[in-house]
Amino acid sequence: MLDNKIPKAEYGIVGGSGTLSSDFPNNIQAQDVEIIADNLRFETPYGESPAMRLFSVGDKQVLTVKMHGWRSGVSRSDASRQVFWVFREAGVKRILSEGGVGTVNKLLDLRDFIVPDDYLDMSVRKDVMLDGRYLLIMREALCPEMRKTLIEAVSKRFDGRVFIRGTYAVTDGRHFESPAEVAMLNGHADIVGQSMCPEVYLAREIGACYAGLYFTVNYGEGIKVWSHEDMSNIFYDDAVMIGEILLETIRNTSAQDKHCHCQELRKETLLKDVYNSESAKG
Ligand SMILES: [Zn+2]
């Protein structure tokens, strides 16, 4: 059933492989967490949104979606636009994303955690936007304030290795990268995945901060042979911890009192006649 009224929420979580196997946040024992509404779907200019869940952490309302909104029959760019269009209408100001990634940097091992500070977009979905009203400056694209809070939350709950900066290379997928592609990325990126773009652009376009938590689930081809079993074990074993880290980060992040420059890096475009709301959808 379609829900016409988009609820207010200042926080968004774009769930990925880390929470996919779980019923996040129902799988977390927490006194201050309550599900407000479930299975919410909204009409958007890009088609019906994926199912969303609205919950509260203390007095903060959070909208969340599974697996980046990806589903069969919907292009990934439309899925992302549906999610971020709803986030904008809901008034979301802070967005957290998570996901499993492959290694590019040879120093990385499976189950390392990374909070990237930059990205390299190798996807061909370059023009994914909502209405194109803004010039998006991608300096400090991953919110420094949210990254700091996220790193503190990870360090409290995870005993393994946490890398507090790194570059996330984005490819289209769904296939993984070839040995030659991983070799080409090496030296330019540390990890490779398929979700950070266009999410990071759309977050900036709606004026929201964006940061992500990523964990290595496979080695890049040509680095070391990995098993599918390793990957699925990580997905299942770490879901509760990843959920707890996300909730802790929300608890410690204010949507009103921001100490970052994310919003100032979005400027009114000088190309208003070109990017009006109609031409941007065509
Ligand atoms: Zn920010």
Domains of the chain: 11-281 (3.40.50.1580)
Q: Say whether pLDDT at 250 is over 70.
A: yes
- Residue 276 confidence (pLDDT): 54
Q: Say whether pLDDT at 282 is over 60.
A: no
Ligand 1 centre to CA of 209 (Å) is 4
| pLDDT digit string, tens, across residues 17-34 | 988 888 999 999 999 999
Q: Strands 162-163 and 113-114, how do they pair? A: parallel
Ligand 1 centre to CA of 266 (Å) is 11
Q: How many CA atoms lie within 13 A of 5 on its CB side?
A: 3
The dihedral built from the CA positions of residue 18, 203, 75 and 176, taken in this order, carries a sign that is negative
Task: Mention every residue, 6+ apart, whose C-beta is less than 8 A from residue 269.
Answer: 132, 133, 134, 135, 275
Ligand 1 centre to CA of 151 (Å) is 15
- Residue 269 confidence (pLDDT): 79
Mean pLDDT of the chain: 92
Q: Say whether pLDDT at 4 is over 80.
A: no
- pTM here? 0.93
The residues placing their C-beta within 5 Å of ligand 1, an ion, are 143, 209, 260, 262
- Mean pLDDT across the stretch 254-271? 89
Ligand 1 centre to CA of 92 (Å) is 12
In this structure, of 147-151, 181-185, 235-239, the range with the lowest mean pLDDT score is 235-239
- Mean pLDDT across the stretch 88-117? 97
- Mean pLDDT across the stretch 124-135? 84
Ligand 1 centre to CA of 227 (Å) is 37
- Residue 273 confidence (pLDDT): 63
The dihedral built from the CA positions of residue 245, 246, 251 and 254, taken in this order, carries a sign that is positive
Q: How many CA atoms lie within 13 A of 269 on its CB side?
A: 14
Task: Mention every residue, 6+ apart, whose C-beta is less than 8 A from residue 257.
Answer: none
**pLDDT band (50, 70, 90) for residue 128:** confident
**pLDDT band (50, 70, 90) for residue 278:** very low
| pLDDT digit string, tens, across residues 200-239 | 999 999 999 999 999 999 999 999 998 888 888 888 888 9
